Structure 1
Amino acid sequence: MLPHLSSVLVEAVESGTRLVRIMVRTPDGRPVDCPGCGQPSDWDHSRYVRHVADEAIGGRPVMIDISVRRLYCEHSDCTRATFVEQVDGLTERYQRRTPALRRLVEALATALAGTARLLTVLHQTLSAVTVLNCLMRIPLPDRRAPRVAGIDEFALLRGHRYATIIIDADSGQRVEVLPDRAMATVTAWLRDHLGIQVLCRDGAAGFAQAATDADRGIVQVGDRWHLWHGLTETVLKEVAAHASCWGKFGPPLPEGRRAVTTQERWRQVHELLGQGVGLLACARRLGLALNTVKRYARAAEPDRMVRAPIYRACLVDPYRDHLRKRRADDPAAPVTHLLAEIREQGYTGSANLLVRYINQGRVEADHAALSPRKVTGLFTRHPDRLDDRRSALRDQLAAACPEMTVLADQIRTFAGRLAPCPGNAERLTEWINQTRAADLPFLQAFANGLERDRAAVDSALTLPWHNGRTEGVNCKIKLLKRQRYGRAGHPLLRQLILLN
């Protein structure tokens, strides 16, 4: 029942309502190796009683009172005059818990980020400080520098302080947690670990420069997910810039005073630019922000500054086809009649909502109101995941203007390059040249960014490695941070990350 007591003599057992106490003693005359010199000795000096907590039995904590010997060391040159014997599986130096209970506490501290509350369920009473001390005493695994490493940053205090996580990109094992994301810190660590041959990273310029400074022979591999995410954000900007093109298939575009002001500002900006006035001077003369002037300068036509109206889904949307057919048959149909008809079909909204829906022109539109993000989703989603209706809508939006057609083709082409293939580097060059020839300023800026980090991008499109495991570790780190309520310092957080 208690195998760790097999090497000692059990003298008594006291079973109370709140505690089980076991009194044991070590046998006399058995030689013990000196921890200083290793020579066995059976020369007794004295005895004393140690109190060691053990795992609970029957829902009650266990306390073992063990009488151990202090012995003389018989080696004349040993630095230890006396030493205390240790019982395997029962005692450890400077510990008041058995090895079995220590392993239990360490496992719970590692899994629950040092939280002590669950120990009460296991009938162990320990303070939070004691559990944290047990956690910090756990030796970290000795892991060598991997051949293929993944590196990423995570926030200690979002927007203010960041740390760096380095893992083995093949196995996912955590290797190191650096206290910051400074280029000098990463460079120093990479120089101390020369076994790294491949480094998977995102588009952070600091990590790129740190790897170059540490060892130019390290192959840097960009992350394909970040490439696709960057393209998606760029497509969103391009789609918003061409809202006047694809917006004609939805509700009518706004034609009020705001639209007139937008067109007038576009004319003023382009007149000044045509006279050779710089962007900053234009901003000062017109009283606009510099970024606003840049946005107007990028638009080749004033219509590109017009944004399609964005409407939320409402209770009338399921009955739009019926309302559209009724108004086509009878344009003068009273709203009260239309309201009665759709209420018979299950409409539960108000009459004011129906009137506002009709006045916004949403009934006569070719499709329900679309936002730039929804249009971007149609363009970037895999064609096999679109039903017939959405596929037809996507083709309709792509044919809205020549630029939208080119944009849809470029998205489809770039998506085909994300599967690693030896010839993707040359195909990417063709894609960049086609993008620069198109009238798509945001996509051109994205292509220029790819050129600045071209070596890592080529490696991402031709080599099998990626940074996905590092992103998964980042998600785990967020959980660990929440378990400590965001108050864990770097030493404790490093211990938790490397042990989990």
Structure 2
Amino acid sequence: MHRAPSASTCLPEEPGIDATRALGATRGHIRLQFLTESVALSTLGGLAGTVLGVLATLAYTAYQGWPPVIPPAAVAGGVAGTVLVADRAKEPVATWLRKHAGFEVVCRDGAGSFAQAITDAAPHVVQVADRCHLWHLLGEAAHREVLAHSACWAPLGPPIREGRRAQTTRERWQQVHDLRDQGVGLLECARRLNLALNTVKRYARHAEPDRLIRTPQYRPALVDPYREYLRKHRATDSAVLVTHLLTEIRELGYTGSANLLVRYITQGRVEADHATLSPRRTARLLLTDPARLKEEQAALREKLSAACPEMTALATQVSDFAALLTPAPGNPGRLNAWIARTRAADLPFLHSFATGLERDRAAVDAALTLPWHNGRTEGVVHKIKMLKRQTYGRAGFPLLRLRILLS
């Protein structure tokens, strides 16, 4: 079989495309949406720039005592120029592909505009969805599912703070569901409750209010190394004074303040199974290969997976999809079974991810069966981003260029 050269084009993601496809939009609808958005945004930008320019001109002429003269053609040209200059990202891609004939395979992300550009410029080209981007989109969906089921795994971490915010969340959930039970639409609910439409959708989506109450996200503290010591001491003597505990752990090397220790104990982080357990860390544990986890991390992952049926289903689906990312001839059939199991589970965010896969099914099937991917390109991009962030505010482009070349 002739091995054709591949164009591994690393194109930026468009996270809104999955939501648009999930609503049933066709390619024509998506093209019209992108065109309308680009024209509208460029027009607003042109108006804002023109207004600022006019105001700056008026202020300067008033300061100098000159009569202001602003030609109407200049104002109209400022707005029209931004609309004409605004260019959709698909046009350069289509132009480049037409100039570089001979490509048979193009690896891309899930952006609909780039897929359409490739189809228009080279219909014969095999489009392959990049496996790196597929895994990234799955990770985002898994993170949202973990957030939605915080009440399941929250007992494994610091206790949830029962305060005014939690009470407000429960009251708003009750108000939204009372209106929905009366047949009131989402938009009318938002108007009556004076809430954003997306907020009302989020409250209406959950069957229980506790799923909306987020777990506290604590950063690592200086008390963390002495947590087990404090836990044992408080288990034997629950009335021990904080001053005594402070003196003892300072002898062990504690360098923090007394206020930090008091706040740490008050938050319940001493008695909790884990001092810090955020939704992002929980999602990362579910997305990591268990064989690469430490013993305590693997044990925590097992507890998180068994927290509730939804978390169990999420962990299973993540592991099964990870196995599909190793190219094999039978993966398209396995993907069908994976999508069917996802639809049967109570995982709405994973449903949206599965809908995006079905919308771009030909490219996804190619990704799961062909060896082409953008993994190395994505690695280089992330490395450049890391080097750039390390020098924010401390160096310029020459040093960044040198570091990239030397690395």
Same fold (TM over 0.5): yes
> What are the ranges of 5 or more consecutive residues in structure 2 without an aligned counterpart?
14-37, 43-85, 389-395, 401-407
Alignment partner of 1:378 out of 282, 285, 303: 285
Task: Report whether the alignment pairs 1:361 with 2:235.
Answer: no
Q: CA RMSD in A?
A: 2.7
**Unpaired stretches in structure 1, ≥5 consecutive residues:** 1-145, 162-178, 487-500
Query: Could you tell me which residue of structure 2 aligns to residue 331 of structure 1?
Result: 238
Q: TM-score, normalised by structure 1?
A: 0.60
Q: Which has the higher contact order (CA 8 A, sep 6+)?
A: 2
Task: Report the AA paired with residue 408 of structure 1.
Answer: A
Identify the residue that residue 240 of structure 1 maps to in structure 2. Answer: 147
Distance change in 2, residues 1:397/1:470 (3 Å)? closer
Which is strand-richer, 1 or 2? 1
| Counterpart check, 1:457 vs 2:364 | yes
- Picking from 3, 8, 18, the partner of 1:150 is 8
Query: Which residue number in structure 2 is paired with residue 228 of structure 1?
Result: 135
Q: Which residue of 1 aligns with 2:91?
A: 184
* Cα displacement string for residues 439-477 of structure 1 (whole angstroms, at most 9, x for unaligned residues): 111111111111111111111111000123443675798
- CA pair 411-275 structure 1, distance change in 2 beyond 3 A: same
Rounded to whole Å, the distance in 2 between the matches of 1:472 and 1:453 is 24
State how far apart, in whole Å, the 2-side matches of 1:354 and 1:364 are: 13
Aligned residues: 321
TM-aligned CA distance change 1:430 to 1:334, over 3 Å: same
Which structure shows the bigger proportion of residues in helix conformation? 2
Within-5 A mapping of 1:71-220: 147-153=5-11, 182-220=89-127
Aligned-partner Cα distance in 2 for 1:368–1:448:
37
Change (3 A) 1:232 1:472: closer
The normalised TM-score by structure 2 is 0.73
Q: Separation in 2 of the partners of 1:182 and 1:237?
A: 29
User: Is contact 1:202–1:467 with CA below 8 Å preserved after alignment?
Assistant: no
Q: Within 5 Å, which residues of 2 pair with 1:342-361?
A: 342-361=249-268
Of 185, 190, 212, the residue aligned with 1:278 is 185
- Tell whether 2:316 aligns with 1:409: yes
Query: Counterpart amino acid of 1:150?
Result: S
Secondary structure (helix, strand or coil) at the match of 1:252 reads coil
Amino acid at match of 1:269: V
Q: CA offsets, 1:31-55, max 9 Å, x none?
A: xxxxxxxxxxxxxxxxxxxxxxxxx
| Structure 1 residue 261: Cα displacement | 0.8
Report the Cα distance in structure 1 between the residues aligned to 2:382 and 2:264, rounded to whole angstroms: 42
Write the distance in 1 (CA, Å) between the matches of 2:280 and 2:146.
8
1:58-77 mapped onto 2 (5 Å cutoff): none
1:447 aligns with 2:354: yes
Q: Report the equivalent of 1:313.
A: 220
Verify the 8 A CA contact 1:224 1:466 in the aligned structure 2.
yes
Residue 353 (structure 1) shift: 1.1
Deviations 1:290-323 (A, max 9, x none): 1111111221211100000111111111111111
Indicate the percent of aligned positions where both proteins have the same amino acid: 64
Q: Report the residue type matching 2:238 in the other structure.
A: P
